[in-house]
Structure 1
């Protein structure tokens, strides 16, 4: 074959190959790029980080949870690190920044985590006494002249108040909903002064006559009585709320399904097998916990209802340019609540 013809054939082959590559490029099949909307590659998990709801101080919480987390690490075959913060806001930020993989949280924090942070509920704590939940309380000094909520409501602008953060169910949301919002009041303006702290410090503030009234809850109050018996003896419960479901454990939904299932099984079987007594003793270090029961996002419906009622009562007490404007706001609150309940009740993947 003549040399010129070979050269022409070779150049023709190169052009064909080049056109073929261009067509692939036009179809979006470029080498090394995943198809559009393809799921992200599975994460390689070499360790897990557990976020801890602040109970007392951060170091106290870390010490209390560490024995159980060490057991979980051995069961899962993965290091389990812990992150304990001093505030609910700090834990909420850690969840939103994906600095924790699973966490022990209040119902309100869990609600935000499920809605905004790609997490799901996998377990709920159980207590030794078999209770289904706990109660928010208002504390006063034992010798306080306040003996009823009516006594309290007759003292606008005269009393010092200590409450929890806005994400605290028992420290803020429940008393705000059940006591103040339905009276068209706001606790932040009803009292002469308002301080925000954790349950332990708020109880100490009442006992030491630094405030007149403080929020707390029955579970934390039991713990307080053991740690500070003298200060506890100076306290009296002025008001008790309706039942609040126990705290839950949430986990990231972008963790491998097999790992999520293993974590759920490890948690919900803890203190129930051959080492039950030793494991139960470790749980008792935390908060009189007897174990964890499997559950899902539907557990958060009562907390969605709390937010719903609070939003409606605030809408009723706000100033509106017209009745139609208020009704439009109420309609929006109703629609958003119904959509949220449907989301929480929908089945979740393992």
Structure 2
């Protein structure tokens, strides 16, 4: 049996050994818990989209695409809804989001706010010549000039197809929405604009042609009651944008994933149909110079 005093000598020795072992493990794992957390965080791709439709619809449209991106990137893909257009811009530039589905105007806002630290990766082929439609239930409205003295709703204030471009075409037709219309409102989303017009809350409104076509195809709008009276010329619009500090390898994986979507494959076809895309094509910041100029001209970009 060991003498009692020898037990007292061994305890501090054991504690020192334990401390040294713990220190060694921390060293192997990156010296701190923060590094481990950062490493884990990099395995999640945080994705969002401007809320131009109801949150449930955005989630439904993204689900198959999210699963596809998980396969292609090897990362967990998490869709994080935002409350408004501004939140999508702030979320990306403040590094709370990694990739966002922007409209042309929100992309320009993010580009300006971040001092060019965002990169648009891909857009739908349809976004090269996107359009807005003006709708009404009023039998006296047949052209933009007929809107004088009428009530009107845009979508969100930061929407390209629901506000910026419709405002630009109104100004081009010598109609100042702020002085020539009886009252203007902002519905917040394209489907809400249709609801406001069809419900008689306003005489007319403007929205994204893609959402209009979808609502018509789904019989969610009565075209005998609500009609399109003006369609704008084409302009560049939506894209998927990431921060410039995203690793080039990951940017390439994401870009390649979108460009590989093929409508002749059943799984890919479902994704493309939900995104209302025939296919995705590469895009670049230069494509949105006209949107930026329109925003400055309309006084919407400071």
Q: Would you say same fold, with TM above 0.5?
A: yes
Gap change, CA 1:59 and 1:97, over 3 Å in 2 = farther
Decide whether the 8 Å contact of 1:162 with 1:202 is kept in 2. yes
Task: Give the equivalent residue in structure 2 for 1:235.
Answer: 226
CA distance in 2, matches of 1:215, 1:100: 29
CA distance in 2, matches of 1:114, 1:77: 28
CA distance in 2, matches of 1:181, 1:133: 19
1:123-162 to structure 2, matched below 5 A, reads 123-127=122-126, 132-141=128-137, 143-153=138-148, 155=149, 159-162=150-153
**Shift of residue 86 of structure 1?**
4.6
Task: Give the equivalent residue in structure 2 for 1:255.
Answer: 246
**Shift of residue 247 of structure 1?**
0.9
CA distance in 2, matches of 1:224, 1:150: 26
1:208-287 to structure 2, matched below 5 A, reads 208-271=199-262, 276-286=265-275
Q: Does 1:196 align with 2:186?
A: yes
CA distance in 1, matches of 2:217, 2:266: 22
CA distance in 2, matches of 1:108, 1:94: 16
Task: Give the equivalent residue in structure 1 for 2:121.
Answer: 122
Q: Does 1:78 align with 2:68?
A: no
SS of the residue aligned with 1:84?
Answer: coil
Decide whether the 8 Å contact of 1:125 with 1:246 is kept in 2. no
CA distance in 1, matches of 2:119, 2:102: 12
Decide whether the 8 Å contact of 2:92 with 2:243 is kept in 1. no
Structure 1: 4+ residue segments shifted above 3 A: 227-230
**Shift of residue 177 of structure 1?**
1.6
Aligned residues: 260
- Decide which of 85, 102, 105 is 1:108's aligned counterpart: 105
Q: For structure 2, list consecutive stretches of 5 or more residues without a partner in the other structure.
A: 1-37
- Decide which of 174, 180, 185 is 2:171's aligned counterpart: 180
Decide whether the 8 Å contact of 2:145 with 2:175 is kept in 1. no
Q: For structure 1, list consecutive stretches of 5 or more residues without a partner in the other structure.
A: 1-42, 315-332, 337-350
SS of the residue aligned with 1:243?
Answer: coil
- Please list the CA deviations of residues 20-40 of structure 1 after superposition, one character each: whole Å capped at 9, or x if unmatched: xxxxxxxxxxxxxxxxxxxxx
CA distance in 1, matches of 2:245, 2:170: 40
Gap change, CA 1:61 and 1:160, over 3 Å in 2 = same
Task: Give the equivalent residue in structure 2 for 1:293.
Answer: 281
Decide whether the 8 Å contact of 2:261 with 2:272 is kept in 1. no
